[in-house]
Structure 1
Amino acid sequence: MFSFGIISYSWWYFLANGVQRAASDGARAAIAGLDAGERQSLATTKATDNLRAVGSYNMQQAQVAVVEQSNRLTVTVTYDTAGLSIVRLPFVPAPPQRIVQRASILLGGM
């Protein structure tokens, strides 16, 4: 049971790390945008491409949100692990079902 718990949480941590990387890369990509629409498009595309590149994500379970307020842009990537049996073992306490990771950047310099 202990070994299954290690495997389950390791897989969840692998997914959470990938979600954070997608949010961070999406925020970095947004810096190149000239206006809010372009920044949102760049961030969403980069974050989605990152998740697809790993190959372990069901893209139906992923959401990318980009919010720009005053001089800050925040990319939030959410992934729902409900359909993953390796993370939802009946005899091991389960990690959180939703993985939510954020990354922010300042716009317009320091």
Structure 2
Amino acid sequence: MALVLPLFLALLMGVLVYGQYFLVAHAVQQAANDGARAAIVGLDAADRRGIAERAVDRSLSGVAGFSARARTVAVTETADALTVAVSFSVPEDSFLRSSLVPSPAGPIRSSATFELPVD
């Protein structure tokens, strides 16, 4: 029993840390999707960027530790597509930064591309 309990606790911590990582990664992907979907209706590049940033902020507002300083939004356009790339830096006091279980380093990045409507 003395050997099983530490192993069980380490396994439990791993499940919790990676569960939170996948939750945040999914939220960042969904924020990129929401930003690209919302930005498609903008009239020009500046309007699309503002719409995308507001949509990303609205989507990420439910993530623990979210602040506008912790995320970056990049909107790029080609003649036929619009891409929104989102990067989210997990706060240092987050459960993801646990020293008991190694977690992926660096910010969580995701992007979404939508085709622009054809005239």
Same fold (TM over 0.5): yes
RMSD: 1.7
Moved over 6 A (4+): none
Indicate the SS of the match to 2:50.
helix
Structure 1: 5+ residue stretches without partners: none
The corresponding residue for 1:36 is: 45
- TM-superposed deviation, 1:51: 0.9
Structure 1 letter corresponding to 2:32: A
- TM-superposed deviation, 1:82: 4.9
After TM superposition, the structure 1 = structure 2 runs for residues 1-110 of structure 1, keeping only pairs within 5 Å, are 1-52=10-61, 54-59=62-67, 60-109=69-118
TM-score by length of 1: 0.88
Residues 71 and 57 (structure 1), Cα distance of their counterparts in 2 relative to 1, 3 Å cut:
farther
Choose between structure 1 and 2: higher strand proportion.
Answer: 1
